[in-house]
Structure 1
Amino acid sequence: MLDALLTALATPGLVWLVLITIVAGVVYGFAGFGAALVYMPVSVIFLAPVIAIAAFSVSAMSSLVTVFPKALPLVNRKAVTVLILSATVSASLGIWVLRVADVTAIRWVVVGVCAITLAALIAGWRYKVEPTTGTRALVGGAAGFIGGLSGLTGPIMVLFQLAGRDSIATTRATTVVFLTATSLLMLPLMAVQGVLTAPAVALGLVLLIPYGVGALIGQALFRPDRERFYRVIAYGIIGLATLAGVPL
């Protein structure tokens, strides 16, 4: 493992990876979403998508002691459990596609998912009916598949939450709990399929502290009564990260 850590510290572009991980953590702690949207488009410039996704899942373990504890009491546990379980089931298929698909194609998927999600969030689409258990299972399943394929478990889930009628504090808490839990549950799925390699784990451990520090900073900045402000900031950072990740 020591050799893997030394290799991780020699990763090309590590300084940029650390910086973008801190920014991703700030956005996550602040808005409750957007960490992967910020991290993935930039990380795949320096890393193979498989390594980038696995390392990010490892670094997300820091959320268990940063933003997760305060978010858990605010969520509808039955609803979020359905979302988490359905996402975990479908993630295995997404990981398999990740293993066999073309790298450039995956980078385009990452950028495309980021851009479409950002446009939908800015457009402010909303639904007015109470979602059923089946609806939540479909949303979680779609989120899990996309997450396994591209590392972006959040976009579909975030769009679903932001389009609902929950308060911004509840919406943020639900996405935090969902994204933290699915990131952790995805680790054994990656291990089974040979994606969670020693270099990926080592790099994830290197990025764990920067991500955690960023999340604590973002959480300290969060104000439930300033919804418009933090949405604008998060959308702007996500948009810049998406443009940076275009594989041209």
Structure 2
Amino acid sequence: MLDALLAALATPGLIWLVLITIVAGIVYGFAGFGAALVYMPVAVIFIAPVVAIATFAVSAMSSLVTVFPKALPLVNRKAVTILIISATLAASFGIWVLRVADVTAIRWVVVAVCSITLVALIAGWRYRVEPTTGTRIAIGGAAGFIGGLSGLTGPIMVLFQLAGRDSIATTRATTVVFLTVTSLLMLPLLALQGVLTGPAVALGFVLLVPYGFGAMVGQALFRPERERFYRVVAYAIIGMATLAGVPLWETL
């Protein structure tokens, strides 16, 4: 393990990885999601994508002692448990589809759904009824499947939360709990896929403290009474995630 840690400390561009991890943590601490969107584009410049995914999953464990404890009392535990279980099961399927299928058409559908929903939310659309268990299973499953397919588990979940009647504090807390737990549950899935290697784990632990520091800064910046500002930031992050998922960029 010492050799793996020394190798992690010798990673090319480590200082940039640390800095972008802090920024990703700040975004996550404030918004409750969006860290992967910040981290992944920069990380893959210096390390392989599979290593970037694994290191991010390991570093995200710091959320258990930073943003997670304050978020947990604010959530509907039964509801978020349903979302987490369905997302985890669907993530395995998303990873499998990513490995064996041509996913371009699926990614276009994902982009279209996110775009339409985002436009509707900006225009003021909200649902007024209490979501059923079936609805939560569907939303969790969709979020998990897309997460397994693209690494972006947050946007669908956040769109669902922002469209409801929950307060911004509850919305953020639900997203924090959902993403923290699903990230942890992704670790054994990554291990089964052979992605969670010793060097990746070591680098993830190196980045764990910067991520946790950033998350605490972001959490301190969050003000539940500033709902309009929070929504603008959330919509901007989801918009960037949607643009990043457009398959067209790969052909340019």
What TM-score results when the alignment is normalised by the length of structure 2? Answer: 0.84
CA separation of 1:42 and 1:126: change in aligned 2, threshold 3 A: farther
Unmatched 5+ residue regions in structure 1?
A: none
Whether the aligned pair in 2 keeps the contact of 1:108 and 1:247 (CA below 8 Å) is no
CA separation of 1:218 and 1:110: change in aligned 2, threshold 3 A: farther
Listed as ranges, the matches of 1:100-115 within 5 Å are none
Three-state SS of the structure 2 residue aligned to 1:186 is: helix
Three-state SS of the structure 1 residue aligned to 2:52 is: helix
What does residue 153 of structure 1 align with? 153
Listed as ranges, the matches of 1:71-150 within 5 Å are 71-99=71-99, 122=122, 125-150=125-150
CA separation of 1:240 and 1:83: change in aligned 2, threshold 3 A: closer
Distance, in Å, in 1 between the alignment partners of 2:13 and 2:109 is 22
Listed as ranges, the matches of 1:1-248 within 5 Å are 1-99=1-99, 122=122, 125-233=125-233
- Deviation at 1:68? 0.5
- Deviation at 1:111? 9.4
Deviations 1:5-25 (A, max 9, x none): 222223233222211211111
Distance, in Å, in 1 between the alignment partners of 2:151 and 2:190 is 11
Whether the aligned pair in 2 keeps the contact of 1:26 and 1:214 (CA below 8 Å) is yes
User: Which one is further off, 202-211 or 46-55?
Assistant: 46-55
Distance, in Å, in 1 between the alignment partners of 2:251 and 2:228 is 31
Letter matched to residue 180 of structure 2: T
User: Which one is further off, 63-72 or 234-243?
Assistant: 234-243
- Deviation at 1:121? 6.0
What TM-score results when the alignment is normalised by the length of structure 1? Answer: 0.85
Aligned residues: 248
User: Which one is further off, 53-62 or 2-11?
Assistant: 2-11
- Deviation at 1:151? 2.0
- CA radius of gyration, larger in: 2
Three-state SS of the structure 2 residue aligned to 1:177 is: helix
User: Which one is further off, 12-21 or 133-142?
Assistant: 12-21
Distance, in Å, in 1 between the alignment partners of 2:116 and 2:199 is 31
Distance, in Å, in 2 between the alignment partners of 1:75 and 1:34 is 19
Letter matched to residue 96 of structure 1: W
- Deviation at 1:203? 1.6
Whether the aligned pair in 2 keeps the contact of 1:31 and 1:231 (CA below 8 Å) is no
User: Which one is further off, 133-142 or 145-154?
Assistant: 145-154
Whether the aligned pair in 2 keeps the contact of 1:96 and 1:193 (CA below 8 Å) is no
Deviations 1:144-181 (A, max 9, x none): 12222322111111111111110011101100000000
- Deviation at 1:55? 1.1
Distance, in Å, in 2 between the alignment partners of 1:7 and 1:39 is 20
- Deviation at 1:247? 8.4
Whether the aligned pair in 2 keeps the contact of 1:158 and 1:175 (CA below 8 Å) is yes
User: Which one is further off, 233-242 or 158-167?
Assistant: 233-242
- Deviation at 1:48? 2.5
